[in-house]
């Protein structure tokens, strides 16, 4: 079973499973297909994380997060007057991190794949070179993205008609340059991206656009294998991503706090449920801001943050009837878009793979690498903007996450796997910047505390608190007017509306082994494919 933001890409992964490939093989094929059919976040020009649970219960985590190029410095996002520049930080060639996705997939294949590499890349070569029929969501998305992509001729040439107007649903989109880049990856593995023609084209694009990445940066990029964060919640194992993601640590910290409360008493999205969750979120996000960065550069107290003892200390500070106030120092950035993507895979043997990867903003920084046909990320925007500058507009300047050569920027991506009694129960994850951690938390709590089937757990309205700004955001119609009044009465500042994440998940019935895919309807083109 494969569940992703693109039904076409899910089918590409499911075909690999049907041909005898394992879940890692299918995850690679799905990820490469998403780079063609879901360009807002599917990528080879970005990075991400893959969490794996093997049928024998072992777990691992692959880190293919982008890295800062060798020329990066903590003050690289300041303009010539020394002022912080949001444009440089998020919206320029300087905002591009050295991509990790192809190295991550190559590492995953080398260590844990079973099929031939070229058979995993070929489906995406075909989709790009022969074209595919544009589904509703992509047509709408590309139409909306014209303003952003329209600034770059290579982006317009790739994604719009010859007269620069958007394609309609049902048109066929051919991505010829991308097809050729994928062929190089098919034939030469990671070298097809990090050296030779593709690397040359990236370096040239950087030079022309004022970016920093060189061929040497590309050749030096390495994906890393890390120990997954593993916690427990009411007898379930929770497996997720360690630093440089904050996701696994924060999620386990929140679950540990919640374990001491009867979360379900009072009903789903009732005042008690929302309040206790929000107070746990507030505390975990404070720790995230204070402590978490690239573990190759800073020491992150993972053990303490994920311990039951620490959770008990935090739980003791929660009043079940009153909101705490977040302190106004150390403000957390409020800048985050909603354009990453998560997909979930399980194979016949119970190998489970949970992948979240991203270009950071929708369509990344908007520029296609001329001649190579793929979009570049703007992930450098996840580094702190200016060392020491922490202000009310939402910038943070703490040391853990300033840019350094070769460093990975802090992430919130939280690909997760839930297991019980030695068996996989669910594969979960979501996009949504900082909201990711809370979205995944809620799907898990919906499954365990509220005993919801997976689709209901995904569909249920969600909410988010990130310590600062001190505000509880709730999806439109997420709570009743009575509950809203009760929550506000406890002292929460509430903002209702919008949508939170797209959590393409799956569940495995521990008794029958039946796999149930749960695409998130918040994503138009999403789909599950099994065989
Ligand atoms: O790594 C991160 O946490 C962010 N760059 C993810 C961005 C994101 O989720 C945007 N969209 N959904």
pLDDT value of position 390: 64
Structure tokens at 308: 């039951």
Q: At 471, is the secondary structure helix, strand, or coil?
A: coil
- Kindly give the distance from the C-alpha atom of residue 384 to the centroid of ligand 1, in angstroms, as a whole number: 14
Query: What are 376-390's pLDDT values in tens digits?
Result: 999 999 999 888 776
How confident is residue 392, by pLDDT bands cut at 50, 70 and 90?
low
Average pLDDT, the chain: 95
Average pLDDT over residues 313-338: 72
- Report whether residue 382 contacts ligand 1, using a CB cutoff of 6 Å: yes
* Pocket test residue of 382, 436, 439 for ligand 1, highest count of atoms within 8 A of CB: 436
How far, in Å, CA of 69 to CA of 96, rounded? 9
Which helix (DSSP H) or strand (DSSP E) does residue 528 occupy?
strand 527-529
How confident is residue 394, by pLDDT bands cut at 50, 70 and 90?
low
Which residue has the least CA distance to atom 8 on ligand 1? 433
Q: Are 359 and 96 in contact (CB under 8 A)?
A: no
pLDDT value of position 387: 83
Can 516 be counted among the known catalytic residues?
no
- The one catalytic residue in 40, 340, 439, 502 is 340
Query: Has residue 291 got a pLDDT over 90?
Result: no
Domains and CATH numbers, the chain: 2-225+358-382 (no CATH), 227-336+412-524 (3.60.20.40)
Which residue has the least CA distance to atom 6 on ligand 1? 433
Model's pTM, two decimal places?
Answer: 0.96
pLDDT value of position 526: 97
Query: What are 122-156's pLDDT values in tens digits?
Result: 999 999 999 999 999 999 999 999 999 999 999 99
pLDDT value of position 393: 55
Of the chain, the percentage scoring pLDDT greater than 70 comes to 96
Hey, CA dihedral for 258, 417, 438, 253, is it positive or negative?
Answer: positive
- Report whether residue 412 contacts ligand 1, using a CB cutoff of 6 Å: yes
Average pLDDT over residues 2-31: 98
Question: What is the position in ligand 1's atom list of the atom closest to the CA of 412?
Answer: 3
* Pocket test residue of 100, 431, 498, 500 for ligand 1, highest count of atoms within 8 A of CB: 431
- Kindly give the distance from the C-alpha atom of residue 39 to the centroid of ligand 1, in angstroms, as a whole number: 15
pLDDT value of position 331: 40
Phi first, then psi, for residue 15 (nearest 5°) are: -60, -35
- Report whether residue 413 contacts ligand 1, using a CB cutoff of 6 Å: yes
Q: Are 452 and 460 in contact (CB under 8 A)?
A: yes
Q: Are 420 and 237 in contact (CB under 8 A)?
A: yes
pLDDT value of position 395: 64
* Pocket test residue of 66, 433, 434 for ligand 1, highest count of atoms within 8 A of CB: 433
Strand-pair partners of 233: 236
Query: What are 477-496's pLDDT values in tens digits?
Result: 999 999 999 999 999 999 99
Query: Has residue 400 got a pLDDT over 90?
Result: no
Which residue has the least CA distance to atom 4 on ligand 1? 433
User: In 210-301, where does DSSP find H-type helix?
Assistant: 215-220, 247-258, 271-291
Query: Has residue 264 got a pLDDT over 90?
Result: yes
Q: Torsion angle of alpha carbons 453, 455, 460, 466, nearest 10°?
A: 100
Query: What are 403-449's pLDDT values in tens digits?
Result: 999 999 999 999 999 999 999 999 999 999 999 999 999 999 999 99
Structure tokens at 205: 């694009």
Q: Which of 113, 130, 189 is nearest to 8 (CA)?
A: 130
- Kindly give the distance from the C-alpha atom of residue 277 to the centroid of ligand 1, in angstroms, as a whole number: 22
Q: Torsion angle of alpha carbons 491, 496, 502, 503, nearest 10°?
A: 30
Query: Has residue 334 got a pLDDT over 50?
Result: no
pLDDT value of position 327: 74
Query: What are 72-90's pLDDT values in tens digits?
Result: 999 999 999 999 999 999 9
Query: Has residue 178 got a pLDDT over 70?
Result: yes
pLDDT value of position 333: 39
CA-CA distances (angstroms) from residue 433 to 24, 337, 440, 497, 508?
A: 25, 6, 12, 17, 27
- Report whether residue 326 contacts ligand 1, using a CB cutoff of 6 Å: no
Query: Has residue 332 got a pLDDT over 80?
Result: no
Average pLDDT over residues 201-215: 98
- Report whether residue 338 contacts ligand 1, using a CB cutoff of 6 Å: yes
Query: Has residue 110 got a pLDDT over 80?
Result: yes
């Amino acid at each position: 079973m494969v569940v992703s933001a693109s039904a076409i890409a899910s089918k590409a992964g499911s075909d690999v499973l049907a041909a005898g490939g394992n879940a890692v093989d299918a995850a690679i094929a799905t990820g490469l297909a998403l780079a063609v059919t879901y360009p807002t976040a599917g990528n080879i020009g970005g990075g991400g994380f893959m969490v794996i649970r093997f049928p024998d219960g072992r777990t691992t985590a692959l880190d293919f997060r982008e890295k800062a190029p060798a020329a990066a410095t903590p003050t690289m996002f300041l303009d010539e007057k020394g002022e912080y520049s949001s444009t440089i930080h998020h919206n320029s060639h300087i905002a591009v991190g050295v991509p990790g996705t192809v190295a991550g997939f190559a590492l995953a294949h080398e260590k844990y794949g079973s099929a031939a590499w070229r058979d995993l890349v070929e489906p995406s070569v075909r989709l790009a070179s022969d074209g595919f029929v544009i589904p509703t969501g992509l047509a709408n998305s590309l139409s909306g993205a014209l303003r952003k992509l329209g600034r770059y001729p290579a982006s317009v040439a790739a994604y719009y008609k010859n007269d620069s107007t958007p394609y309609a649903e049902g048109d066929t989109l051919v991505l010829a340059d991308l097809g050729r880049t994928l062929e190089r990856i098919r034939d030469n593995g990671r070298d097809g991206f990090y050296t030779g023609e593709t690397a040359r084209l990236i370096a040239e694009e950087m030079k022309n656009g004022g970016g920093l990445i060189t061929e040497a940066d590309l050749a030096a990029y390495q994906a890393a294998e890390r120990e997954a964060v593993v916690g427990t919640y009411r007898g379930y194992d929770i497996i997720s991503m360690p630093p440089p993601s904050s996701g696994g640590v924060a999620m386990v910290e929140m679950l540990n706090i919640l374990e001491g409360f009867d979360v379900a008493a009072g009903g789903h999205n009732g005042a008690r449920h929302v309040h206790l969750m929000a107070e746990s979120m507030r505390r975990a996000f404070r720790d995230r801001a204070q402590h978490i960065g690239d573990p190759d550069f800073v020491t992150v107290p993972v053990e303490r943050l994920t311990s039951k003892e620490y959770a008990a200390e935090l739980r003791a500070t929660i009043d079940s009837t009153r909101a705490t106030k977040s302190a106004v120092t150390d403000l957390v950035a409020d800048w985050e878009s909603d354009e990453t993507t998560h997909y979930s895979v399980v194979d016949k043997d119970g190998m489970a793979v949970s992948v979240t990867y991203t270009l950071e903003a929708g369509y990344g920084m908007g520029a296609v690498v001329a001649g190579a046909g793929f979009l570049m990320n703007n992930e450098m925007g996840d580094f702190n903007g200016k060392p020491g500058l922490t202000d009310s507009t939402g910038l943070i300047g703490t040391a853990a996450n300033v840019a350094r050569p070769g460093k990975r920027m802090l992430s919130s991506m939280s690909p997760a796997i839930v297991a019980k009694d030695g068996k996989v129960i669910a594969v979960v994850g979501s996009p949504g910047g900082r909201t990711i951690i809370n979205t995944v938390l809620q799907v898990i709590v919906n499954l365990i505390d509220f005993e919801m089937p997976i689709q209901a757990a995904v569909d249920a309205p969600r909410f988010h608190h990130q310590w600062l700004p001190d505000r509880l955001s709730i999806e439109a119609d997420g709570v009743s007017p009575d509950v809203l009044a009760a929550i506000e009465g406890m002292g929460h500042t509430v903002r209702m509306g919008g949508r939170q994440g797209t959590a393409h998940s799956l569940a495995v019935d521990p008794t029958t082994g039946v796999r149930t895919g749960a695409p998130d309807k918040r994503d138009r083109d999403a789909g599950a494919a099994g065989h």
